[in-house]
Chains A and B, each alone.
Chain A
Amino acid sequence: MEGSDKMERTSKVMSVKEAISRYMGDSCDSLAIGGMHMHNNPMALIREVIRQHKKIKRLITSPSGSINAEILVGSGHVEEVLTSYIGLEHLGLAPKYRSAVEKKQIKLLECDEPHIVYGLQAGAGGLPFIPYPKGMDATDLPKVNPELYRFTTNPYTGEQVMTAAPIKPSVALIHCQEADPFGNAIFLGSEFTDRQMILASDVVILQVEKIVPNLAEKYGAARVNVPGFLVSAVVEAPFGCHPTSSHGYYTYDESHLKGYLKACKTAESYSEYFNQFVTGIAEEDYAQQVGKEQLEKLRKGGAA
């Protein structure tokens, strides 16, 4: 008799360096980055993408991108961006994104929030498009962006209806709080649109705070709503969302984000920031570079 209950499954756990070099080509057609505002941004993976000089043809954000998109645009590796918002919420505009658009250094595919949500849903399910609710064409977006906002006839009413095209990222970089070695993972706080990105993307690279071998046992399978078969690689990166938050684990680092904004002011200070926190160090040394004491101050009461 072949087989046994001792057959070993293959672990998907690897280093951040290996995950990025193995699953992202030197040029990535479309890269989706998870997280919303200053929360759950997969910064460890993003910093590694910059270190490995990956070219990104199209960057796709959640409905509200933050430092995740800002720093990728700032690195100069992004050709075009599909987004409905990139900014630092109450801390202000995203300087590098703003100037790259104003100086036309990147192409902007500007859309609204439902375009991303509907698009990912369509991409995940093989739907040809998703029609918008009536009345959503009243903004100026369809006028400046006819490629992105196409119209068809509603076969039930004969009326014109605006549509969102499927979004099918080649790679998604996502942060979950915990995963098992096989890529089954859990969001301990808000999911934002990260799960839709996972469902719609060809390749998913996960970074997690902690690898938990008995994850489904710990939380119950119904709460583990990222199935491993959609995940290619799992990277354990404690404090890997810094300077953004990881829901349930730690809050965002406002002083670091403000420091980043300050560093944007001159080319010298910006390259100094990159040297200090991105290109000049290995990701494994990031936490030490920020400082253990500083990170501990951000930790939430109930975190593991």
Chain B
Amino acid sequence: MSEKAYSISELMACVMARHLKDGEVAVMGAVSMVPMAACRMAQLTHAPNLYYITGGSGAVNPQLDPLVFSSCDDDLLRADSALALPDVILLEGHGKRFDVFFGGGLQIDKYGNCNLICIGDYEKPALKGPGTVGLPFLPLAGRVVIYTTSHNARTLIEKVDFNSGPGFLDGPESWAKKGFPGSGPSLVVTPLCAMDFDEETKVMRLKSVHPGVTVEQVVENTGFQLVIPDNVPTTPEPTETELKFLRKVDPKGIVKNLL
């Protein structure tokens, strides 16, 4: 496939979609255009029995005919069913109902902790973030898929200024001590690469670099020491089938034009 046949945000959607398995239940919050598209696409390519719930709308399996920007749009209610939001919150606390939870943050650290509260000291923030909404549920909600549209050393940092979406906390001991029902952060998707987490140290690890991106570029733009395996593969480009279904879901190019 030629170099300009897809956008980087479309590739991110494909990476997320490939992570989803048939029969799973996924849930997401605000500004989830890419995860929404990824879930719907996964249903069309390899996971027809995937369920996904879009944010405050409570919609289960929106048809995305077509994809919309807002997680609470009434167009999402063209779906299989719709839960009232308090029911979604109730189920998020259950611990075994959801397999995949999409999260993100103004800051994401090496243990996959996320921050949507503030940059700098809480009492004297350099930037007041919007707030954390449902991210405290991350350790209770299966595998966490973290995504960001800005891969730089200010976003991907050693330690979050405020932990509002717990990942592996301060590392393996603190994580094990908590005995959470979820399995913690499992995939990080950025415009440069895909990352997972080292099984022993729980530190973020480079999984694949996107076509045209070097390992050095990723290291330079990451504010902590990533685990770099000896062999780092290139993220497979979107297949024709993937792109066909992604664009069917997103005819207006909301994901395509994001990055």
What residues make up the interface of A, taking CB atoms closer than 8 Å to B?
Answer: 36-39, 62-64, 83-87, 89-90, 93-94, 97-98, 101-102, 110, 112-114, 117-118, 121, 132-133, 135-136, 138-141, 144, 189-193, 195-196, 245, 247-248, 251-252, 300
Contacts and interface: CB of A to CB of B under 8 A. Distances in A.
Interface centre among B31, B57, B73, B166 (most CB of A within 10 A): B73
Contacts of B164: 112, 139-141
B71 to A, nearest CB: 7
Nearest to B76: A190
Contact of B30 (A62, A64, A98): A64
Contacts of B84: 191, 195
21 contacts: A63-B133, A64-B72, A64-B131, A86-B130, A87-B131, A93-B129, A110-B117, A114-B136, A135-B140, A135-B181, A138-B139, A138-B169, A138-B178, A139-B135, A139-B166, A140-B117, A140-B162, A140-B164, A190-B58, A190-B59, A192-B56
A38 B72 CA distance: 8
B155 to A, nearest CB: 15
Contacts of B73: 39, 245, 251
Interface of B: 30-31, 33, 56-59, 69-74, 77, 82, 84-86, 89, 92-95, 116-117, 122-123, 125, 127-137, 139-140, 162-166, 169, 178-181
A248 B74 CA distance: 7
Contacts of A195: 84
Given A64-B56, A64-B133, A102-B125, A135 B70 contact: no
A136 B93 contact: yes
B33 A93 contact: no
B132 A141 contact: yes
B86 A87 contact: no
B134 A112 contact: yes
Given A63-B133, A192-B85, 14 more contacts: A37-B30, A38-B72, A64-B133, A84-B132, A85-B30, A93-B128, A93-B129, A102-B127, A112-B136, A132-B93, A136-B136, A139-B136, A196-B86, A300-B74
Given A98-B128, A196-B86, A245-B74, A133 B95 contact: yes
- How would you classify the secondary structure of chain B's contact residues: helix, strand, loop or mixed? loop
B131 A83 contact: yes
Contacts of B163: 138-140
Nearest to A190: B57
Interface centre among A140, A190, A191, A245 (most CB of B within 10 A): A190
Nearest to A194: B85
B85 A110 contact: no
Contacts of A112: 132-136, 164
A114 B89 contact: yes
Given A37-B72, A190-B77, A85 B82 contact: no
A252 B71 CA distance: 13
Contacts of B70: 37-39, 89-90, 252
A185 B163 CA distance: 40
A93 B89 contact: no
A299 to B, nearest CB: 13
A89 B30 contact: yes
A26 to B, nearest CB: 29
B33 to A, nearest CB: 7
A188 B163 CA distance: 37
Contacts of B77: 189-190, 247
